[in-house]
Structure 1
Amino acid sequence: MKKFFLLSTLFITFWGANAYGQQWGPGVTSPEIHEDNSVTFWLLAPDADSVFVIGDFLPTVKVSSPMGEVDGPGKVPLQQDEYGRWSYRTDPLSAELYSYAFVVNGLTIIDPANSFVNRDIATLSSIFVISEGEADLYTINDVPHGTVSRQWYESPGLNIDRRMTVYTPPGYESSGRKYPVLYLLHGAGGDEEAWMSLGRTAQIMDNLLAQGKIKPMIVVMPNGNVIQDAAPGEGNKGFYKPQFMVPKTMDGTYEMNFMDIVRFVENNYRVFTDKANRAVAGLSMGGFHALHLSRYYPNTFDYVGLFSAAILNGNDANGKVYADIDGTLTAQMENGYKLYWMGIGKTDFLYKVNQDFRRKLDGIGMEYVYVETEGGHIWRNWRVYLSQFVPLLFQ
């Protein structure tokens, strides 16, 4: 009887490991990072006819999107061996956080051997890090760590309770001191999770603090989609497919009600409440919001960061918030500020409108810091922009 029980147990264990093997990885290690920082991707798929890997470690290609033609990840084929394993080895890669996925017989999937995944709007990607260099800011190191919380707040202007993500620096809970605040805004299709998961904000802040390169500060990451109370799956609408662009994101509603967020933060956290201790920055749509928040509330933010900002002209941006842009920019300049920072990639589809906006600022004599990088409208740039922008704050 004991022998039968043992054999039954072994059978069940073997069957379970095969039926649910993707939970632990299907007999391969992927990605495999080599000493020279080249990477081999492996997929066990003996019945597949074709397997490709797509990722931001490959040269970009132009793809169509709701924003027009943008940079997309490149794609290369994997080769199959006699055991049904598919593989592809890259050239040595520079230090960075990378995203990738497999395309198997035309179907895009995450790497079943890699349990580390992020979500960008409705797309899931597997991730890995090549360490040393810039990517060391994106990893968890043996340094003091801040606290990340998901905070619900009341927005009287929108008549809804909404969620934001808040990073407080190491020691906040016991220090008793006050801190400055950076309001960090996401792009179209994002939400209050984007800067944490894709932007690696907590890791960047912890590591820069440990290096003594930035002042301790609170980082507030609100949801910029005013029809949502929280990220998809985290709010009262339950589970649904995230959209790239939801209604009312760039019609002035967000900017008109943004002070609900500021008031909540200043009533519930130990923060300074003057202009010199507030910053606002954002990527793409969030850069659009940061631009207009800073000029619509000219006595609120001394530091402004536009990361690949989605700058629209007067014909596309209507409403009270967007009225008299030239005049309000001039008023913002005359009112005074400490930093106006712009960053854009050379192949970003928003490159031209950012150059047009620079000419507008030059025309009125408004000073700004401009950073131009390689690449397009991608998180690899926005993480770099954040790591370059925050050391300049509250000095």
Structure 2
Amino acid sequence: MMKKNLLAAFIAAVLLSFSAEAQQALWGAQQIISPQVNADNTVTFRIDAVNADTVQVVGDFTPKKKMKTPFGEFEVAGPANLEKGADGIWSYTSEALPSDLYTYNIIVDGFKSTDPNNVYMIRDVSSVFSIFIVPGDKGNLYSVKDVPHGTVARRWYDSPGNEMTRRMTIYTPPGYENSKESYPVLYLLHGMGGDEEAWINYGRTSQIMDNLIAQGKATPMIVVMTNGNVAQSAAPGESSLGFEKPNMMLPHTMDGKFEETFPEVIKFIESNYRVKTDKADRAIAGLSMGGFHSLHISRYYPNTFDYVGLFSAAILPNEGVKSALYEDFDGTLKAQMDNGYKLYWIGMGKSDFLYKSGVDFRAKLDSMGMKYTYMETEGGHTWTNWRVYLSEFAPQLFK
């Protein structure tokens, strides 16, 4: 009887503890709606900061300002001021915003943080942003809709060339598990500071692919999102290194090692998934550093990909980088052209800091007679553009 009483007391204590935690989670948050997407596509932000002197919001939609960086001067978001109401609630309503996914932070007396009333967040390198979606063309494509859904898996693979086991993210299209069909593959690469989580989270890859496939605009395909930082086994917090601070500049960044060991990725996919293995059924694309990787992988292995996508791509290696992969640039490009391909697609924003290098690269392709498709958009080196590029590129694959 005594043992039963002790057990009952223990269970009650545990349940009480869980209840206290639940109550803390329930009542600890501010009971405010923020952000609120209004019917006219304006967006209202609110925060309870009664003792604050200034509250601001900064995001994709706030006024731009010039900023000098090691890569040159370009536009970044500047802050907009919230106004304090009689009830102590600060608020700001934006102008009407075009349909899209937006990121932002709240700044209270100079301290930048996420919106305490918004649980939806994205990490980009070492920064965390609150997010919201304004519905419409882009917003609907980036949202979860009532359509058949693919599966997203994190898979570990052996990488002898990097002397470690590494992780990648893989999207399989709706119906893959119940089918015997083999599928084409898009290898989708992230930019500097990103990892195998970047495209699936910030890029909204699974939502974009689900919706494009459901609309009949894209061929069902497998999308493989690698970690382009060969010094990492996986994204920060997802490896045995624990909760390390994300770092943008890692060893072997854009020095040829990723390109050299990329065949290990293809080998794993073609050994573990039902995929078509012809050149006509492989595509490679990436943003910024991932565009750089896509450019050099596709020309160095010229009989591997029929589809290449360069999204705001870096073109040439940094000065002083030595690798056999970057030698004979013009000769290997010509070999790629002569070997044949179905689509060489380039996207760039008008204010991208890599715009000039993109102009020079296209001039080189023109002088060679190498055919390509070019899309130029407003804005710069941003996810706003890269999601658009994926949305435009994917429907042109495997036709």
Q: TM-score range by the shorter chain?
A: over 0.9
Deviation readout 1:80-122 (Å, 9 max, x if unpaired) = 1122111111111111001011111111010000010000111
Q: Is 2:125 the counterpart of 1:129?
A: no
Q: In the alignment, which residue of structure 2 is the partner of 1:187?
A: 191
Q: Is 2:369 the counterpart of 1:365?
A: yes
Q: Is 2:217 the counterpart of 1:213?
A: yes
Q: In the alignment, which residue of structure 2 is the partner of 1:272?
A: 276
| Pick aligned residue for 1:283 from 287, 302, 312 | 287
| Pick aligned residue for 2:315 from 301, 307, 311 | 311
Q: Aligned equivalents of 1:22 and 1:106: distance in 2?
A: 27
Q: In the alignment, which residue of structure 2 is the partner of 1:380?
A: 384
For residues 1-395 of structure 1, the aligned pairs below 5 Å read 24=29, 26-65=30-69, 67-312=71-316, 315=319, 317-395=321-399
For structure 2, which runs of at least 5 residues remain unmatched after alignment?
A: 1-16
Q: Aligned equivalents of 2:305 and 2:71: distance in 1?
A: 29
Distance 1:23 1:336, change over 3 A: farther
TM-score w.r.t. length of structure 1? 0.93
Distance 1:227 1:44, change over 3 A: same
CA contact (8 A) 2:254 2:317 kept: no
Distance 1:240 1:64, change over 3 A: farther
Q: For residue 178 of structure 2, give the secondary structure of its aligned residue in structure 1.
A: helix
Give the letter aligned to residue 360 of structure 2: D
Q: Aligned equivalents of 1:93 and 1:71: distance in 2?
A: 19
Name whichever of 176-185 and 68-77 sits farther off.
Answer: 68-77
1:70 offset after TM fit, Å? 3.7
1:176 offset after TM fit, Å? 0.4
Deviation readout 1:353-380 (Å, 9 max, x if unpaired) = 0001001111111000000000000000
TM-score w.r.t. length of structure 2? 0.92
CA contact (8 A) 1:27 1:44 kept: no
Give the letter aligned to residue 307 of structure 2: Y
Deviation readout 1:285-321 (Å, 9 max, x if unpaired) = 0000000000000010110000000122674553111
Aligned residues, how many? 381
Deviation readout 1:262-282 (Å, 9 max, x if unpaired) = 000000000011111000000
Name whichever of 373-382 and 51-60 sits farther off.
Answer: 51-60
CA contact (8 A) 1:59 1:74 kept: yes
1:68 offset after TM fit, Å? 4.1
Q: Aligned equivalents of 2:24 and 2:237: distance in 1?
A: 28
Q: Aligned equivalents of 2:361 and 2:321: distance in 1?
A: 14
Give the letter aligned to residue 144 of structure 1: P
For structure 1, which runs of at least 5 residues remain unmatched after alignment?
A: 1-11
CA contact (8 A) 1:158 1:257 kept: yes
1:20 offset after TM fit, Å? 5.8
Distance 1:212 1:76, change over 3 A: same
Q: Aligned equivalents of 1:92 and 1:365: distance in 2?
A: 44
Q: Aligned equivalents of 2:390 and 2:222: distance in 1?
A: 14
Q: Aligned equivalents of 1:156 and 1:330: distance in 2?
A: 31
Q: Aligned equivalents of 2:226 and 2:284: distance in 1?
A: 11
1:247 offset after TM fit, Å? 1.6
Q: Aligned equivalents of 2:268 and 2:136: distance in 1?
A: 39
Q: Aligned equivalents of 1:313 and 1:322: distance in 2?
A: 7
Distance 1:153 1:70, change over 3 A: farther
CA contact (8 A) 2:60 2:77 kept: yes
Give the letter aligned to residue 152 of structure 1: W
The alignment-based identity, stated in percent, is 57
